[in-house]
A and B are shown apart, each in its own frame.
Chain A
Amino acid sequence: GAGVSQSPRYKVAKRGQDVALRCDPISGHVSLFWYQQALGQGPEFLTYFQNEAQLDKSGLPSDRFFAERPEGSVSTLKIQRTQQEDSAVYLCASSSLQIGAGSQPQHFGDGTRLSIL
């Protein structure tokens, strides 16, 4: 497709389970971002990839959160031993931005709505 695709759109898991969220960025986009959006809040940065390299993971809230982009295209955000506070919408964005350019827009997917029971 033409846009950023995320799956699943909705995920319900029991506390303690592991979950995996997938992001298909726009074809050819070098940069990929993950954000977490709590109810009634703006997105909060989690991590950034340039191609397959994870250049910034400063926003990951704990070591239960892990992200990868092994071939520089599709990315997976994994949350281990989920907690209720992990309930949020997880947004993926991609851009053609290269380091130093600074002006390319980030295109967002529609997110995965994660609910932890």
Chain B
Amino acid sequence: QKEVEQDPGPLSVPEGAIVSLNCTYSNSAFQYFMWYRQYSRKGPELLMYTYSSGNKEDGRFTAQVDKSSKYISLFIRDSQPSDSATYLCAMRRTTDSWGKLQFGAGTQVVVTP
């Protein structure tokens, strides 16, 4: 079983809807959590970075971390067709002090006009 689990989708939503994405993890040593967006044939682009449990908001994006449940979420409000991409969660252990990341498999999101 992988340390980071993420539903691969695809997740199809109409334009303007809220996109809800999540990942679960098994290792409590993960303390830093990130969400990346990856367009087809492009590299991952960092969207959100969180450390502690709770919510972090940046524009239309909200990231949530629940360390007690080992569960992280990303919400995208007022979704646009340009949000169609693969969203990857990523995590880092405190012992990997120089930044080695563990990624989920990615969820493909399609926002239809």
Residues of A contacting B34 in the complex (Cβ-Cβ under 8 angstroms): 105
B residues in contact (CB < 8 Å) with A? 4, 6, 8, 32, 34, 36, 41-46, 49, 51, 88, 90, 92, 94, 97-106
Q: Judging by beta carbons under 8 Å apart, are B44 and A102 in contact?
A: no
Residues of A contacting B90 in the complex (Cβ-Cβ under 8 angstroms): 42
Chain A contact residues (Cβ within 8 angstroms of B): what range?
Answer: 20 to 34
Residues of A contacting B45 in the complex (Cβ-Cβ under 8 angstroms): 108
Q: Judging by beta carbons under 8 Å apart, are A105 and B46 in contact?
A: yes
Main secondary structure of the interface of A (DSSP, over half): loop
Shortest distance between the CB of A52 and any CB in chain B (Å): 15
Inter-chain residue pair count (beta carbon < 8 A): 70
- Interface stretch among A11-19, A60-68, A75-83, A93-101? A93-101
Residues of A contacting B105 in the complex (Cβ-Cβ under 8 angstroms): 40-42
Known: A105-B49, A106-B46, A111-B43. A42 touches B88 (CB 8 A): yes
- Please report the C-alpha to C-alpha distance between residue A106 and residue B105 in the assembled complex, in whole angstroms: 18
Q: Which residue of B lies closest to A49 (CB)?
A: B98
Set A4, A106, A109: member contacting B99, Cβ < 8 A: A106
